[in-house]
Amino acid sequence: MDLNKLIPDNNNSWSVRGKFVMFKKIEHIPVCYIDDGIVYIFLDARLLKHVVKITKHVMSMNIEFYFTTPEFSNPKGVLDFHEKVIYHYLISYAKDKFFYAFKKIEFDLIDNLVKWTDKENCFDLVKDVYQRVLKKVNHQSWDYYSNKQHFDYCLEIREEFQSLYRHIQISKII
């Protein structure tokens, strides 16, 4: 597959370098790559708008695609690759910008995670990683100046995470 077909618009900031589709903000940042005919998109918060744009474009092309961690673009590689990708899927789902952006384009990130874990045969890692992310999402601290509890994540995301593992299991069955 030609990488130029993955470029969603005519913006001159998009470029193809080697096996990566890059977007130039201040420097060229990889957005996606193709491996064995499958598109892998980096869930990079620095390029949220462009990640969503390329996701929507790839969805319209009916191509198999998954997400991965931006650490994978490092030539050095990544240890515990499966665990890091699952963690990155879940922590990106917890970020309100990704959460609402994917909701807006009607894309189910969790269903994509389950398909990726089936393909990579690593579904058994999901529950442990989910428990770690759930603990982080529900973390609260006390603000002594305002005399209130402070949460790092909004209420809607915290409520969504309470039943997220059930959603993951249902997606696995279906």
Rounded Cα distance, 57 and 152, in Å: 32
**What is the model's pTM?**
0.89
Q: What is the pLDDT of residue 78?
A: 67
Contact by Cβ (8 Å): 99, 93: yes
Instruction: Using DSSP, state whether 78 is helix, strand or coil.
Output: coil
- Confidence at 152, pLDDT banded by 50, 70, 90: confident
Write the CA distances from 56 to 59, 99, 174, integer angstroms: 5, 15, 23
1-59 pLDDT, tens digit each:
778 888 888 888 898 988 889 998 888 899 999 988 899 999 998 899 999 999 999 99
93-134 pLDDT, tens digit each:
999 999 999 999 999 999 999 999 999 999 999 999 999 999
**Does the structure show a pLDDT above 70 at 77?**
no
